[in-house]
Amino acid sequence: MPEFAGAGVMLNFKVADVDAEHARLTSAGLAIAMPLEDHPWGDRGFSVIDPIGNTVYIYSDREPSAEFAKFISS
C-alpha cells in the first residue's frame, strides 16, 4: 500500500485572532493557498498548505451577512 501523502485533507482551526495567526504563519514562510478575507457566512479566514501538503483553514468567527444570518439558528 502506498504511503499516504496528505492529498485531499483539509484541517479547520478556529482561533481567537486570525490576523495574528496569518502574520505568524506567513512570516514563517508557509504558502498562502487562500488569502485572508471576511466571508459572508460569518468568519474571517485564510488557508495555508502545511509542510506535508495538507490544506489548513484558519478562521475566527464574525457576524454573518443578512443573507446568511437567516439560516443560522441561535
Distance of CA 38 to the CA centre of its chain: 11
Structure confidence by residue, pLDDT tens digits, 6-49: 566 789 999 999 999 999 998 988 888 899 999 999 999 999 88
Q: Are 38 and 44 in contact (CB under 8 A)?
A: yes
Q: Are 68 and 40 in contact (CB under 8 A)?
A: yes
What are the residue ranges of helices labelled H in 17-60?
Answer: 18-27
State how far the Cα of 74 lies from the Cα of 31, in Å rounded to an integer. 36
What is the pLDDT at residue 35?
Answer: 95
Q: How far apart are the first and last CA of the chain?
A: 46
Q: Are 51 and 4 in contact (CB under 8 A)?
A: no
Domains of the chain in sequence order:
10-69 (3.30.720.110)
| Structure confidence at residue 1 as a pLDDT band (50, 70, 90) | very low
